[in-house]
Amino acid sequence: MKTIYNLVVKDIIRFLNDKPAVLLTFIVPMVLIVIFGSIFGGSGSPRGKVNIILVNESNTPVSRILEARLDSAKSLRIVKKYLPENGKDSLKFTETVAKEYVRTGKISAAVVMPEDFFTDTSAALKFKFYYDPKNEIESSIIQGQMQQTIMTQVPRLIPFLMQRRAIDFIGNDSTAMFAQSLGGILETYFDVPADSFVQSLTKIDTTELTQTVADDSSEENQMFGNFVKFESEQLVGKEVSNPGLTRSVGGWAIMFLLFSLTGAATSLFEEKQEGTLKRLLCMPVNRSQILWSKYIYTMSLGVVQLFVLFVFSWLFFGVDVFSNLPNLFVVVVASAAAAVSFGMLITSVAKTINQANGISTLVILVMSAVGGSWFPVTLFPDWMQAISKVTLTYWSVEAFLQVLWRQAPFTAIIPNVLILLTFAFLINAYALVRFKNGKVF
Amino acid sequence: MLKINHIEKTFDNLVALANVSLNIEKGEFFGLLGPNGAGKTTLMNIIIGYLQPDIGTITVDDEIIMYEDLEMRKKIGYVPQDISLYLELSAYQNLIIFGKLYGLGKNELESKIDEVLELVQLTDRKKDLVKEFSGGMKRRLNLAVSLLHDPQILLCDEPTVGVDPQSRNAIFDMLTKLNQKGKTILYTTHYMEEAERLCSRLAIIDHGKIITQGTLLDLINQLDQKETIKIQKTAHTKDKIDSINNLGHVTEYDFYYELLPKEENSQHSTIFKHFETLNIPSQFIEISRASLEDVFLNLTGRSLRD
Ligand SMILES: Nc1ncnc2c1ncn2[C@@H]1O[C@H](COP(=O)(O)OP(=O)(O)OP(=O)(O)O)[C@@H](O)[C@H]1O
Ligand SMILES: [Mg+2]
């Protein structure tokens, strides 16, 4: 026991003397947490707006109201003018200039409402959307925002356009008849005056389309507004002060664990190279004591590393690590155990330190990508989600989500913890067999 | 005190040790001389319980040393052939780490560290990182680490390899001092000069077999010729080598030929007469007593350095 303790102390002394290792173990994770914490708005600053050019060449009330609404959209910053190269006065964007701006990467997207955006006979709104897919998230934000603006700001437009479609297909008379009978039904059962409904459907006066926005309480408007009704309530993470980081910190944690603990385990190779492993084995120290000390040392290193990481996330980004502390600790220990076993496996199968480093870096990166350290696995295709489940990263990430994000009780993490510990046990057993026949000792 | 009984060890198909038996008495400075790959390190590894022999036993004070016998290792100090130190740490940190593993208490360890540092003359460098040490300093520290627990038996596996003459002499003096204080030393080397200078008794090992053992005088007395004749290599003597060959067994070295004269030529007068007729001036001739080199040559037909 004393011997194992002395061996652990030896590893700690060596670790502390190795400044780059200390840096990699503690500082690099912190830096990355700062970067990601800031991306997810952790420090409380609002997320940046997406810049977008808007060219309105149409002169209809609908386009004008959309323009006004987009102007005030929360996640977009609308740009309409530009400064020509040799001019001093800024000019309004034209479609051609806007396209050039997107093509040369000066802006990520442009929305054009052309002259025929909405005419007397249009059965659809005609937008032109130019974008550079270098950032898909940006494109989706823009498109989503556009749709949302149309749906919420000019809700009557939709049935109106549907009506025009109907006329295109079945002719004026049949459409009018359909509207009449629908109006009748509505009047009977919903107490909506049939006339006003029919009128609102068939009215060709487009100026009224926009007025309804100001007059939100009009019966028809409410009627249409009620066709689709979302009642959304956030059930999880409502009180979480930094949702983005809280969700992702577990993924980073297990990745750092894998890297640092594999490094610590493969230090057996360094000791072999330096000859100190042999010297130890010629002293009153045996092989299993050396292995035990490596386990204890790497486990403790992992726990300390994650402790520092979590306290840092809490201090600077308000990630709540304390209200579920005992369960968090259980997950940390189980994850560290799994990571250590992975490191031991690598150490026992590799023949040299370089081999060990190469293999472990590759496997850790793949496991982190597939197991959900970087992106939620729910984004993956089904077959890949199936593969995720054989990585220890997946079970660790899920367990961290449970305790940090859902603030789940111990019972909820039992399966994950058991799976991680089983991973650890089986891999270790295999590594031990390999050590017996291997080249390390 | 240290008995090696019929040890055999085979790696795959290579016989590293074949029926090796040695008996090293308390207080002896015992040398094990042999060329590269003779099996010296393998024997050391078996004595310390790092390797398991296929056959045979090792006893210390009539107690058998088992494989991974941790208690027994406290009685033995082992100086590995390769430098085995934490290069990124200071000399002092190395001594602390290894000393603790021998179970030394804090105060005992501190005073022991001072003592061994004094012995290997590294006291003023103890705070420096080992990787900044010269080859000779590393060797000395490598030895110092093995002395911390004050072992009764010291196994030194080629402790002077790659060391400058000054450090080498320092190591010789240290070991002699330790031996005088009563430590039993088993010393392996492939330098016959070291074995001759240091060891009170020695064995020669070749291809895993002990080919002879005894005191230096015993071994040399086995030879028919107790003297060798060295002929300096010069432009003048070089063309005469064929004729010299007729006088006895000639071995060529970098700077001289060594002649073991035939029985009929063993008289100095006869041999000098031969040289005279060959027109080799006596300035180029040196007569010296036979060395372990000659013993090895006599027994194996090869030179130690081949
Ligand atoms: N672990 C091993 N596996 C296979 N062969 C080995 C092993 N260790 C030693 N040998 C072989 O056993 C023989 C004896 O090796 P050993 O290291 O004991 O020689 P040595 O006398 O110490 O040589 P040197 O003077 O070069 O140190 C050599 O042929 C070596 O190749
Ligand atoms: Mg050797």
User: CB–CB of B71 and A275 under 8 A?
Assistant: no
Q: Which of A282, A290, A293, A436 to mutate to test the interface with B (most CBs of B within 10 A)?
A: A282
Could you tell me the residue range of the domain that residue A311 belongs to? 243-436
Say yes or no: A262 and A364 in one domain. Answer: yes
The closest CB to that of A285, out of B86, B87, B101, belongs to B101
Summarize pLDDT for A65-124 with one digit per residue, the tens.
Answer: 788 878 877 777 888 888 887 777 888 888 888 888 888 888 888 888 888 887 777 777
The closest CB to that of B102, out of A10, A14, A283, belongs to A283
Position A69 in a domain: yes
Could you tell me the residue range of the domain that residue B249 belongs to? 227-289
CATH number at residue B202: 3.40.50.300
Position A316 in a domain: yes
Position B302 in a domain: no
pLDDT at A278 > cutoff 50: yes
Q: In sequence order, which ranges of chain B are alpha helices (DSSP H)? A: 40-47, 70-73, 91-101, 106-119, 135-145, 165-180, 192-198, 216-221, 235-238, 241-245, 268-278, 292-300
**Counted domains in chain A:** 3
Say yes or no: A124 and A229 in one domain. Answer: yes
Say yes or no: B131 and B250 in one domain. Answer: no
Ligand 1 site residues (CB inside 6 A) read B 11, 14, 16, 34, 36-42, 81, 190
Of B42 and A440, the structure prediction assigns the larger pLDDT to B42
Position B296 in a domain: no
Region B151-177: mean pLDDT is: 91
Give me the pLDDT at residue A202, please.
Answer: 61
Position A390 in a domain: yes
Say yes or no: B263 and B238 in one domain. Answer: yes
Atom 28, ligand 1: residue with shortest CA distance: B37
Say yes or no: A100 and A195 in one domain. Answer: no
Say yes or no: A412 and A327 in one domain. Answer: yes
Say yes or no: A292 and A389 in one domain. Answer: yes
Say yes or no: A385 and A405 in one domain. Answer: yes
Give me the pLDDT at residue A214, please.
Answer: 45
Say yes or no: A266 and A188 in one domain. Answer: no
- Which of 222-281 (A) contact B at CB < 8 A? 274-276, 278-281
CATH number at residue B281: 3.30.70
Position B266 in a domain: yes
Choose the final residue of a domain: B220, B235, B268. B220
- The pLDDT mean for chain B works out to 89
Position B305 in a domain: no
CATH number at residue A105: 3.40.1710
Position A123 in a domain: yes
Say yes or no: A137 and A182 in one domain. Answer: no
Summarize pLDDT for A320-339 with one digit per residue, the tens.
Answer: 888 889 999 999 999 999 99
3-state secondary structure of B47: helix
Atom 11, ligand 1: residue with shortest CA distance: B16
The mean-pLDDT minimum among A216-225, A353-362, B131-140 falls in A216-225
Position A410 in a domain: yes
Position B203 in a domain: yes
Say yes or no: A385 and A332 in one domain. Answer: yes
Position A164 in a domain: yes
Say yes or no: B212 and B259 in one domain. Answer: no
Ligand 1 atom index nearest CA of B38: 21
Most confident range, picked from A28-42, A58-72, B79-93: B79-93
Give me the pLDDT at residue A48, please.
Answer: 63
Position B45 in a domain: yes
Say yes or no: A218 and A174 in one domain. Answer: no
Say yes or no: A118 and A140 in one domain. Answer: yes
Asked if B84 has any chain A CB less than 8 Å from its own CB, the reply is yes
Instruction: Say if pTM beats, i.e. exceeds, 0.80.
Output: no
Scanning the structure block, which residue is given the tokens 């420096």? B128
Position A9 in a domain: no
Region B266-283: mean pLDDT is: 84
Of B129 and B264, the structure prediction assigns the larger pLDDT to B129
Give me the pLDDT at residue A46, please.
Answer: 46
Which chain B residue has its CA at the smallest distance from A12's CA? B97
Most confident range, picked from A37-46, A196-205, B209-218, B282-291: B209-218
The closest CB to that of B101, out of A3, A18, A274, belongs to A3
Per the CB < 8 A criterion, the answer to whether A70 and A146 are in contact is yes
DSSP summary character for residue B303: -
Give me the pLDDT at residue A58, please.
Answer: 83
Q: What percent of chain B has pLDDT over 90?
A: 55
**Counted domains in chain B:** 2
Position A372 in a domain: yes
SS3 annotation, chain A: CHHHHHHHHHHHHHHHHCHHHHHHHHHHHHHHHHHHHHHCCCCCCCCCCEEEEEEECCCCHHHHHHHHHHHCCCCEEEECEECCCCCCCCEECCHHHHHHHHHCCCCCEEEEECHHHCCCCCCCCCCEEEECCCCHHHHHHHHHHHHHHHHHHCCCHHHHHHHHHHHHHHCHHHHHHHHHHHHHHHHHHHCCCHHHHHHHHHCCCCHHHHHHHHCCCCHHHHHHHCCCCCCCCCCCCCCCCCHHHHHHHHHHHHHHHHHHHHHHHHHHHHHHHHCHHHHHHCCCCCHHHHHHHHHHHHHHHHHHHHHHHHHHHHHHHCCCCCCCHHHHHHHHHHHHHHHHHHHHHHHHHCCCHHHHHHHHHHHHHHHHHHHCCCCCHHHCCHHHHHHHCCCHHHHHHHHHHHHHHCCCCHHHHHHHHHHHHHHHHHHHHHHHHHHHHCCCC
Say yes or no: A425 and A282 in one domain. Answer: yes
Summarize pLDDT for A54-67 with one digit per residue, the tens.
Answer: 888 887 877 887 88
Say yes or no: B211 and B251 in one domain. Answer: no
Say yes or no: B231 and B212 in one domain. Answer: no
Say yes or no: B153 and B269 in one domain. Answer: no
ipTM above 0.90, yes or no: no
Summarize pLDDT for A217-240 with one digit per residue, the tens.
Answer: 555 555 555 555 556 666 666 666
Say yes or no: B105 and B210 in one domain. Answer: yes
